[in-house]
Structure 1
Amino acid sequence: MQNSVALSARMPTARRARKGISDAQKQALRVYASETHPTPSQRACVEWFQSQFSRLIDRATVSRILSSKYQHLDTGPASLNMRTSASHWPILDDKLFEWQQRHQDSGFPITGPLLRLKAIEYWRKIPDYSKLPMPLFSDGWLTRFKQRHSLRYHIFHGEAASVPSSIHDEMKPIQAVCDQYEQENIYNMDETGLYWRRMPNGGLSTDGYAGQKKDKARITIVVATNATGSDRLPLWLIGTAKTPRALRGVNFQAIGCTWRWNKKAWMRSGIMKEWLHSFYKHIGKQRRVLLLLDNFSAHLCALEDAPPPPNIRVLFFPANTTSIYQPLDQGIIQNLKHHYRRKWMLWMVNILDRNIDPQKKMSLNYTLHWITQAWRNKVLNETIQNCFDKSTITGRTSQIEGQPEVLQLDDLYQSLTSKLSGSAQEIMPLDNFLNPSDENNADEPDISDIILDITAGGDGDGDGDDEDEEYIFGPPPDLPSSAAVIHSMKDTLLWAQHQEGTTEENIRQIEGLIGIFTRLQVDRREQKTLEETWLSKRK
């Protein structure tokens, strides 16, 4: 591959003569001073800073960094810049940087001339700027844009160069902050795409049915957990419809998830802002915790509108570091998806044995149940802990490096694919089925989506209806009646009473469930009677 010069985000490397202290380093020092008891002396702070960043500072510098001048670093994200400058065109600036980051992360080199061309294209499409004269997008503009976003020129030599060698130095301030928190108080959150009904022979993941639009069977999953796995936050799922027919009547809170939507099924700043507020509420005001995020633009924008309370600190991974340092990317998300796809394969085997087409029967309703059950019950605490250890951000080391749990799915996959052998489409390898290479490649937003995200907050656009909803989301499940469910539970109780391994506690639990659902049935009947009585009086 021919070498190309490109822009990427990184910590500036200053000359020795003018080596500044980044906000991230200042923030790390403030965390050390505030979290260490008894409060360390200035001399101790000097020694700590030298041990962490291999740099000697004087006591006056320590005093200045710990003063109220930098108090804003205690509640907001720290920049890797030494200083920043505001943009005259914030909409253009934010979305141009998002475009640059999107292509940089995919390994596509973005040069200065390409940035200028994209800026001109965006400017012509932004309604807010339609009556304003177009800027020159001069060398000065490009220089200031690079300074605002810590962009530097790098030489890319194929795929290996997508991760700059400086990232280990850039991670030191974050690792220093992590050292000041207990494992259970360090959290990581990230999004991931999921082709929830992709089949081994491709199925609906290619061109869809003849004459219809391409398949949209992809959702975004928002995953968050602490470093011990003891506090896994409920999953947030983002789809392309407000309330798909397959999900109508679903009690999301009971299942353990939250549903949000927009027509691209991606994370937007409005949804992220809502997630942040829910996280703050979940943590409360007593615990002191650290939340680690990647520098995705929706995260950055949301944090500006929803800053954390004093007891919660938010740090961003530097660009191009998440594949190495973000715990969720070290195997937690992959393990979650593998458990989901194991359930999906078992279900397909059962459906094919009944001569039913899985494509026509599969529903997003099943996906919600399978993915939330996998997150609650299948992903092991040990897997989460091993992935945090592997990321090295927690400072916890062991003689034997732990690895995420590896599911043995070869036999199941062979059984499934043997039932699909009559398909005209080629069967993909197991690894391609488990880890689709394009699963996280969301389409680049067009300018109308970008403006909508900024002005409308990001949750939803349009009315959410789709002319072919069942094709996209699958059919609704066939729900049994309340009476049938209670009758089945009574049969379960009778069966359990005749099993040798049943305990008294098991019987109590089943009886308790029967009582709960019987009361729900009675309450529903009473509510229906009240509504009918009220309507009759209105007439």
Structure 2
Amino acid sequence: MSTEHTSERYRSSSRKLVTLSLKRKIELIQCVESGGKRKKEIASDFGIAPNTLSTILRDKDRYQRLFYGGKTDLNKKRARGAVHEDVDEALLAWFTCARSDNVPLSGPILMGKAEELAKKLGKPDWSCSVGWLDRFKKRHSIACKSMSGERAAVDEETTDSWKAEVLHSILSKYHPRDVFNADETGIFWRLLPDKTLAFRHEKCHGGKKSKERVTAMVCANMDGTEKMPLLVIEKFKNPRCFKRIRKLPVDYEANKRAWMTRELFIKWVRPFDARMSKAKRKVLLVVDNCSSHINIPDLKATEFLFLPPNATAKLQPCDCGIIKNFKSHYRSLMLRKLLQHIESGMRPGEFSINLLDSVMLLEQAWNLVTMTTVKNCFRKAGFYTDDNSDVETEDANIRPLVRELIDRGVIDASLTEDEFIEVDSELSVSPGLPTASEIIGSLQSSEKTGNPLHIESEEDDCGDELPPVSHYEASNCLQKLRVFVAQRDGDSDLLEKLNKLERQIDVFAMENRFQPTLESFFSASTVGRSGCM
């Protein structure tokens, strides 16, 4: 054996053992994926053996989930598994739900919940020791911190660190058009300004005050060029006012609480992923860590980034102005309809809208949220690294409408614009703490697409069934619109749009006129057979 070969083996055997932190492993994976160097050179740069690099690459999905999940110490060097992995996973799911609702927790509470979950998992004799709980907290970087007030304060140091070490690292892998944020908000869809002052100081989680509410989920990308169709969740699956309506302008779902659930989230994400996969795109979907948002591992084009707990007010673009702007447009459209009602000679107390009207207004409001507003809100949340101190959203021009209604004596003069827009900002949009059975059932059947909260109700207060609109009535309305535009020196482009709309209405009318019914089909068949005899 040559002296040179012996020397090389000696250096290899005497090499200092290097254990990389989670953060360094992610850096290594990014170096390999960039393709700038050979794997052997990268291993040498990080001070590890080539076979160690191969092992890290083999487990890269696990490391990326830990890194981008926002719940793991970035400097951790080992990710030891739990002896009872099923109990560990179930307790972590329950813990995440509890913390997303700001429920104060302690060691004894966690130990008791762990034993309850273990019994549900078929381990009645297992008891949670202090040592097991300590290892559980170390595995998932859980520390006991004091809480003050009803909501945990946003830790500026934590958010700044997360932006620098996690957010900007993963954003470097995506074009801004491929970074999306989705978030839900509760909306009192029938609430008028005269009722707002009675609601403003009350949190609403259920009961009468939430009777006429929906949950709306908005989703837009980082550069504001793409907004996904609005998702609206209400209590009733088939309200009377939807009868004869073949297609809504939004995605519509229903359950008994009008909440977002894990099942509805999965049902929404899969078509989103299919759409991106069909377009041959790889996208990042940023969501908060509420109990209804879960990681779906077998998606083809979508990667999740979960925001750290208690930080969405600072880190989530939708919470930095997108949702407020959307609600501002909705309230503005509602006030315009109310003013039109008053100007027609009707009394304010006689004004009302049904769920179909509300869905139409919600879709219009979402369309009015501009690309500039969306982009500015992503900037305010720190997704862009340039200065974000003067970021503002575009005004929905609701203030003059509120002032006019105050002058008319319709609403109280003490009502402010923000009170009216944000009266439902504290509405719950997802279920509270799940039971042990719900946690285990969800973990054992993550592919379930049914809706356990759905209950058909005989009561439907969303509005009466609407009469069918005839071709003649639609054409007559269009003719009145033409006169309305012409009397106000309307431009030719607007008139052409009305002409195009009338041509489409004529097409609908012709299709309905000549669409054969089952009865006419059999009648024609009988005549045909009679003629052949």
Q: TM-score range by the shorter chain?
A: 0.7 to 0.9
Q: Is the 8 A contact 2:286 2:304 kept in 1?
A: yes
Q: Secondary structure, in 3 states, of the residue corresponding to 2:323? A: helix
Matched residues in 1 for 2:525 and 2:434: separation? 50
Matched, 1:300 2:288: no
Matched residues in 1 for 2:408 and 2:123: separation? 62
What pairs up with 1:129-528 in 2 under 5 angstroms?
133=124, 135-147=126-138, 149-158=140-149, 162-164=153-155, 165-171=157-163, 172-202=165-195, 215-252=210-247, 255=249, 257-283=250-276, 284-301=278-295, 303-304=296-297, 307-309=298-300, 311-352=301-342, 354-356=345-347, 361-376=352-367, 378-395=368-385, 397-398=386-387, 401-417=390-406, 429-436=416-423, 437-440=425-428, 444=432, 447=435, 457=448, 459-461=450-452, 464-470=455-461, 473-477=462-466, 480-493=469-482, 500-503=489-492, 505-527=493-515
1:290 maps to a residue whose letter is L
Q: In the superposition, relative to structure 1, how do residues 476 and 76 fare at CA in structure 2: closer, same or farther (>3 Å)?
A: farther
1:480 maps to a residue whose letter is V
Gaps of 5+ in 2: 1-16, 527-533
Q: Which residue of 2 aligns with 1:4?
A: none
The number of equivalent residue pairs is 487
Q: Is the 8 A contact 1:27 1:73 kept in 2?
A: no
1:100 maps to a residue whose letter is A
1:280 maps to a residue whose letter is D
Instruction: Give the CA deviation at 1:441.
Output: 6.2
Q: In the superposition, relative to structure 1, how do residues 459 and 538 fare at CA in structure 2: closer, same or farther (>3 Å)?
A: farther
Instruction: Give the CA deviation at 1:369.
Output: 0.9
Cα offsets for 1:31-90 (capped at 9, x unmatched): 4653x4x6257799799xxxxxxxx95465997289532342598674443525363347
Gaps of 5+ in 1: 1-16, 48-55
Instruction: Give the CA deviation at 1:372.
Output: 1.0
Q: Which residue of 2 aligns with 1:14?
A: none
Q: In the superposition, relative to structure 1, how do residues 116 and 351 fare at CA in structure 2: closer, same or farther (>3 Å)?
A: farther
Instruction: Give the CA deviation at 1:405.
Output: 2.0
Matched residues in 2 for 1:361 and 1:352: separation? 12
Q: Is the 8 A contact 1:187 1:290 kept in 2?
A: yes
Instruction: Give the CA deviation at 1:338.
Output: 0.9
Single out whichever of 85-94 and 358-367 deviates more from structure 2.
85-94
Q: Secondary structure, in 3 states, of the residue corresponding to 1:519? A: helix
Matched residues in 2 for 1:422 and 1:391: separation? 35
1:289 maps to a residue whose letter is V
Q: Is the 8 A contact 1:26 1:65 kept in 2?
A: no
Matched residues in 1 for 2:137 and 2:463: separation? 46
Matched residues in 2 for 1:149 and 1:220: separation? 31
Q: Secondary structure, in 3 states, of the residue corresponding to 2:86? A: coil
Q: Is the 8 A contact 2:91 2:117 kept in 1?
A: no
Cα offsets for 1:301-321 (capped at 9, x unmatched): 5x14xx332x54322222223
Q: Is the 8 A contact 1:332 1:383 kept in 2?
A: yes
Q: In the superposition, relative to structure 1, how do residues 430 and 349 fare at CA in structure 2: closer, same or farther (>3 Å)?
A: same
Q: Which residue of 1 aligns with 2:531?
A: none
1:341 maps to a residue whose letter is R
Matched, 1:70 2:54: no
Matched residues in 2 for 1:265 and 1:196: separation? 12
2:101 maps to a residue whose letter is H
Indicate the percent of aligned positions where both proteins have the same amino acid.
Answer: 22
* Larger Rg belongs to: 2
Matched residues in 2 for 1:177 and 1:463: separation? 37
Instruction: Give the CA deviation at 1:282.
Output: 2.2
